[in-house]
């Protein structure tokens, strides 16, 4: 078997397109078949190199490798030859420079692998333009010629193409080609039941990548849009999904896109990453932010990553959570300042700094016992001090364990930040 993903490079690869690509890819790999990437760039005006590069890049990033690659813009001769054949056989006629296929009136039956039997009334299908007067093929004609010549056995694409299918079936018939099997995937709706659009959030794969989503997370979430890897099984790898994938089990009903669910799926994949891989993924981000330079202390960085790993929904969350480790000058939000640092804790902070100064080893345990001593000596409750200290050290009112955080910052910086707060 052989399938294809056939994007038009007139825009970026968006979530819907990526889901189509993924389902084709999973089907091919599950059946030990072939996966073709065919760029439908017959519209020379609207097709852009920039989009083509982005589509190829996003496919690679998602891990959807292909066995064959074609550009329709390099195949115009082939379309012309096939149009000529139909003219010679009297199945098509010319109108000016355009070539048009005669469509006989009759009923057309499609057996869709997901939606079952669909009957179209060809009364509604008019004669079809195959070649436009500017010499370029129409989408449907190029699509059929290519699907036939590339020996595509299954056409899996979005439901928005369902109305093109009977027209394309007529073209197959006219050319004397056997039509492939068709499967139309359910649409992806936004939470309000509308079509996914920029208005309701990011749509391009690149945008999600820039927001710090990981490829495994995106891929896992996309497969849930219309398919289920199994009961109580939502977090799966691509390899695992391929083992269970079946096109017949794809839902007919529209899938609803949920950002919250995507964030959750992504967080699970970040949690499952090895510390080494997660650190590798974060390094470019940290460099971009100037949080680390060309050379840096990798074991120290891995400690920071380990502390935050369980809290990240995206890679970018790490920047927001852990910035205080890398920044020389802390930025404390006005709101937190007012809430946690409005009461003068100079004496408490100084006592704490003095106790820390005495420690030869600055570990979570030694920092904690020094902290408890100070609280007892000053007869205050530890909760009086925990929040102000956290805000003073990290600029945030929430975070991982305070004493782990201190030991991560190191003795010197912890003391310095305590001393500077009320100075």
Among 8, 220, 267, 421, the residue binding ligand GLU under the rule CB under 6 A is 8
If DSSP codes are grouped into helix, strand and coil, which group holds residue 375? Answer: helix
CA distance 415 to 393: 9
Q: In the Cβ-directed half-sphere of 314, how many Cα atoms lie within 13 Å?
A: 18
CA distance 342 to 336: 9
229 touching ligand GLU, by CB under 6 A: no
Among 125, 143, 247, 341, the residue binding ligand GLU under the rule CB under 6 A is 143
157 touching ligand GLU, by CB under 6 A: yes
Q: Are 62 and 215 in contact (CB under 8 A)?
A: yes
Q: Are 103 and 122 in contact (CB under 8 A)?
A: yes
Closest separation in Å from C-beta 255 to ligand GLU: 18
Q: Which stretch binds ligand GLU (CB under 6 A): 3-11, 49-57, 87-95, 360-368?
A: 3-11
Q: Which helix (H) or strand (E) holds 170?
A: helix 164-175
Closest separation in Å from C-beta 21 to ligand GLU: 10
Among 3, 7, 16, 353, the residue binding ligand GLU under the rule CB under 6 A is 7
159 touching ligand GLU, by CB under 6 A: no
Q: Are 37 and 4 in contact (CB under 8 A)?
A: yes
219 touching ligand GLU, by CB under 6 A: no
Burial class for 210, CB neighbours closer than 10 Å (0-12, 13-18, 19+): exposed
Site residues (CB under 6 A) for ligand GLU, limited to 28-47: 40
Closest separation in Å from C-beta 23 to ligand GLU: 12
CA distance 85 to 319: 61
Q: Are 384 and 376 in contact (CB under 8 A)?
A: no
Nearer to ligand GLU by Cβ, of 143 and 292: the residue is 143
Closest separation in Å from C-beta 15 to ligand GLU: 14
136 touching ligand GLU, by CB under 6 A: no
Q: Which stretch binds ligand GLU (CB under 6 A): 5-13, 43-51, 189-197, 404-412?
A: 5-13
Q: Please give the torsion angle defined by the CA atoms of residues 229, 235, 240 and 241, in that order, rounded to the nearest 10 degrees.
A: 40
Q: Which stretch binds ligand GLU (CB under 6 A): 6-14, 214-222, 357-365, 414-422?
A: 6-14
Among 2, 19, 161, 390, the residue binding ligand GLU under the rule CB under 6 A is 161
If DSSP codes are grouped into helix, strand and coil, which group holds residue 46? Answer: coil
Name the DSSP letter for residue 123.
Answer: G
Binding mask 92-111 for ligand GLU (x = CB under 6 A): --------------------
The residues binding ligand GLU (CB under 6 A) are 6-8, 40, 143, 157, 161
């Amino acid at each position: 078997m052989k399938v294809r993903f056939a994007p038009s490079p007139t825009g970026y690869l968006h979530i819907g397109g990526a889901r189509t690509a993924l389902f084709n890819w999973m089907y091919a790999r599950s059946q030990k078949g072939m996966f073709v990437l065919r760029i439908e760039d017959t519209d020379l005006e609207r097709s852009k190199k920039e989009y083509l590069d982005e589509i190829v890049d996003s496919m690679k990033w998602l891990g959807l490798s292909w066995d064959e690659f074609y550009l329709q813009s390099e195949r115009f001769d082939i379309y012309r030859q096939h149009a000529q054949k139909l003219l010679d056989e009297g199945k098509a006629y010319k109108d000016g420079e355009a070539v048009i296929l005669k469509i006989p009136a009759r009923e057309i039956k499609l057996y869709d692998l997901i939606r079952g039997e669909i009957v179209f009334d060809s009364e509604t299908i008019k004669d079809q333009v195959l070649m436009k007067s500017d010499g370029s093929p129409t989408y449907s004609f190029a699509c059929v010629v290519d699907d036939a010549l590339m020996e595509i056995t299954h056409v899996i694409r979005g439901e928005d193409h369902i109305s093109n299918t009977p027209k394309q079936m007529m073209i197959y018939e006219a050319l004397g080609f056997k039509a492939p099997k068709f499967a139309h995937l359910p649409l992806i709706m936004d939470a309000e039941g509308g079509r996914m659009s920029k208005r309701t959030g990011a749509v391009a794969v690149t945008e999600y990548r820039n927001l710090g989503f990981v490829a495994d997370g995106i891929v896992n979430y996309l497969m849930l849009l219309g398919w289920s890897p199994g009961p109580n099984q939502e977090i799966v790898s691509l390899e695992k999904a391929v083992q269970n994938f079946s096109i017949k089990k794809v839902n007919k009903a529209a899938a609803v896109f949920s950002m919250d669910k995507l964030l959750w799926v992504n967080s699970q994949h970040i949690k499952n990453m090895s510390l080494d891989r997660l650190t590798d993924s974060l390094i470019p981000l940290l460099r971009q932010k100037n949080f680390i330079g060309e050379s840096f202390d990798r074991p120290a960085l891995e400690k920071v990553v380990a502390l935050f790993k369980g809290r990240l929904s995206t890679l970018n969350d790490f920047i927001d959570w852990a910035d205080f480790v890398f920044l020389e000058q802390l930025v404390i939000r006005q709101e937190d300042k007012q809430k946690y640092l409005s009461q003068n804790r100079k004496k408490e902070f100084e006592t704490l700094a003095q106790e820390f100064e005495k420690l030869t080893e600055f570990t979570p345990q030694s920092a904690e016992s020094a902290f408890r001593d100070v609280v007892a000596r000053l007869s205050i409750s530890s909760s009086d001090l925990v929040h102000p200290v956290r805000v003073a050290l990290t600029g945030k009112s929430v975070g991982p364990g305070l004493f782990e955080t201190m030991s991560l910052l190191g003795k010197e910086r912890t003391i310095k930040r305590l001393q500077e707060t009320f100075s």
